[in-house]
């Protein structure tokens, strides 16, 4: 029997607007007590001083690209999971746009077997909606579910054919399976590289209109209403998208939605020198979109915060802006960036962050709760608001460092991560 007392910290929950002082007693990986002060413990109980730290339930990211199999030069399941741990993310959902795509039960089992063997955090996987993510014929959905897939998506591309998507929704409904929807109209997206508007004209770059995302979103949600399917709208980037989601939620459609830290924080005006670390899909929109997305997060329109962690090699990201691939990494900077830009400035509350980045994602996928309460598995992180995070090359555990935060310093630091009662990551080494 092993016992550890985490004392002096402040825990955050979905029920409390602000962190509250609580001691946490853990025995053999389970939380056996959460009290304002725990003073009576056995002599052999290990003590971890959490004074000045915020104790946050382990984060869960519903949108991560791990690249394995096929592009292990960008990321592997092992390095992606280590990157997650580095950022306080203890569970991740992998996207299926690998090479080859995860479009059958055998591929699902392959990924999950590697994860069980090598991943430092819990890894779940999605499967494709269509074979090869080509948008023409349904993938082996039943076989993928049997293999362990907990969502289907063609992320990176929409399902172009609405009839195919309708059939996928009807089939997925029989499994109570969620469809993750990447929304864009390829004919409108065309060869675009950034948001269409004054900034794209100024930089001479082909633009991507918000209509590309919003028309597809409207279509997908109309089909969800028709079929009764459960759908999850991925990486919403525009104010118009927020209004569409609100409307369909009010109509009773089973829709959830996610927003990324980078769409909350950055906008088209940050693309000053054709820096490809600001190129993502959907693209960074306007300042007004930033404001609407944050407002929607605080109002509860968004169910999840997700990073859309998309590693690429430095060679690829050094190409010209139009030729470079879309996507940035996000697992390691998400919490620090959200604290730095919003929580520390009272623009976002801790309870909202815990709901959208820990509790709600797990409920969406019907996974066990890691809420900090008696009887639950001890799975949480210690965040030090007095320290800083510098996203240097040495800081990153991911194979790729294509991040708009690269070499920037943010207020706040993930100091420790506890999984199953065991400290799996520790930047202090002196608190025990």
The mean per-residue pLDDT over the stretch 100-122 comes to 98
pLDDT tens digits along 347-368: 999 999 999 999 999 999 999 9
What 3-state class would DSSP assign to 360? helix
Residues of the chain with pLDDT > 90, as a percent, come to: 97
Q: What is the pLDDT of residue 432?
A: 35
Whether the per-residue pLDDT at 40 is higher than 90: the answer is no
Place 42 in a pLDDT band, splitting at 50, 70 and 90: confident
Catalytic option among 61, 154, 308, 431: 308
Q: Domain 58-364 is classified in which CATH homologous superfamily?
A: Metal-dependent hydrolases (3.20.20.140)
What 3-state class would DSSP assign to 256? strand
78 Cβ neighbours under 8 A, 6+ residues apart: 114, 118, 119, 120
pLDDT tens digits along 115-135: 999 999 999 999 999 999 999
CA distances from 147 to 80, 104, 144, 349 (A): 21, 8, 5, 38
Given phi > 0 = left and psi -120 to 50 = alpha, else beta, which region is 314? Answer: alpha
Q: What is the pLDDT of residue 43?
A: 83
CA distances from 403 to 67, 79, 326, 332 (A): 17, 16, 12, 10
pLDDT tens digits along 144-181: 999 999 999 999 999 999 999 999 999 999 999 999 99
Q: How many CB atoms lie within 10 A of CB 432?
A: 12
Tokens 């210690």 correspond to what residue? 382
The answer to whether residues 414 and 383 touch, using CB atoms and an 8 Å cutoff, is: yes
The closest alpha carbon to 326, from 214, 220, 182, 221, belongs to 182
Instruction: Supply the mean pLDDT for the chain.
Output: 97
Tokens 């069980």 correspond to what residue? 116
Whether the per-residue pLDDT at 340 is higher than 70: the answer is yes
The domain limits of the chain are 3-55+375-426, 58-364
The mean per-residue pLDDT over the stretch 391-401 comes to 97
Place 254 in a pLDDT band, splitting at 50, 70 and 90: very high
Q: What is the pLDDT of residue 430?
A: 46
Beta strands in 194-326 (DSSP E): 194-195, 207-208, 230-233, 255-259, 304-305
CA distances from 35 to 6, 17, 20, 427 (A): 11, 18, 10, 26
Q: Which CATH number fits domain 3-55+375-426: 2.60.40.10, 3.10.520.10, 2.30.40.10, 3.40.50.300?
A: 2.30.40.10
Catalytic annotation present for 308: yes
* DSSP structural state of residue 130: B
């Amino acid at each position: 029997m092993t016992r550890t007392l985490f004392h002096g910290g402040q825990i955050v929950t979905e029920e409390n607007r602000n962190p509250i002082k609580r001691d946490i007693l853990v025995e053999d990986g389970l939380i056996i007590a959460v009290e304002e002060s725990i003073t009576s413990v056995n002599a052999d109980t290990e003590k971890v001083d959490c004074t000045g730290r915020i104790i946050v339930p382990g984060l869960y990211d519903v949108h991560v690209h791990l690249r394995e199999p096929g592009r292990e030069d960008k990321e592997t399941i092992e390095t992606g999971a280590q990157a997650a741990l580095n950022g306080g993310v203890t569970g991740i959902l992998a996207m299926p746009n690998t090479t080859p795509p995860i479009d059958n039960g055998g591929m699902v089992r392959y990924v999950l077997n590697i994860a069980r063997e090598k991943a430092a955090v819990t890894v779940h996987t999605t499967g494709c909606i269509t074979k090869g993510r080509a948008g023409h014929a349904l993938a082996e959905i039943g076989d993928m579910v049997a293999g362990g897939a907990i969502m289907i998506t063609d992320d990176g591309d929409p399902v172009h054919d609405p009839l195919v998507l309708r059939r996928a929704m009807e089939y997925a409904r029989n499994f109570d399976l969620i469809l993750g929807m990447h929304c864009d109209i390829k004919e409108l997206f065309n060869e675009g590289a950034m948001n269409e508007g004054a900034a794209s004209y100024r930089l001479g770059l082909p633009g991507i209109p918000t209509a590309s995302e919003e028309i597809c979103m409207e279509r997908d949600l109309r089909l969800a209403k028709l079929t009764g399917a459960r759908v999850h709208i991925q990486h919403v980037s525009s104010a118009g998208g927020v209004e569409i989601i609100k409307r369909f939620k009010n109509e009773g459609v089973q829709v959830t939605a996610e927003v990324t830290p980078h769409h909350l924080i950055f906008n088209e005006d940050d693309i000053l020198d054709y820096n490809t670390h600001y190129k993502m899909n959907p693209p960074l929109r306007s300042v007004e979109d930033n404001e609407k997305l944050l407002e929607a997060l605080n109002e509860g329109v968004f169910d999840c915060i997700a990073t859309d962690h998309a590693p690429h090699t430095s060679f690829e990201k050094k190409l010209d802006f139009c030729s470079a691939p879309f996507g940035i990494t996000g697992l390691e900077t998400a919490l620090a960036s959200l604290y730095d830009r919003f929580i520390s400035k009272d623009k976002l509350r801790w309870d909202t962050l815990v709901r959208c980045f820990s509790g709600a994602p797990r409920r969406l996928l019907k996974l066990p709760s890691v809420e900090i309460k008696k009887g639950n598995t001890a799975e949480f992180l210690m965040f030090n608001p007095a320290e800083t995070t510098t996203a240097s090359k040495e800081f990153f555990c991911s194979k790729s460092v294509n991040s708009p935060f690269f070499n920037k310093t943010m207020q706040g630091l993930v100091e420790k991560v506890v999984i199953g009662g065991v400290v799996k990551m520790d930047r202090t080494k002196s608190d025990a």
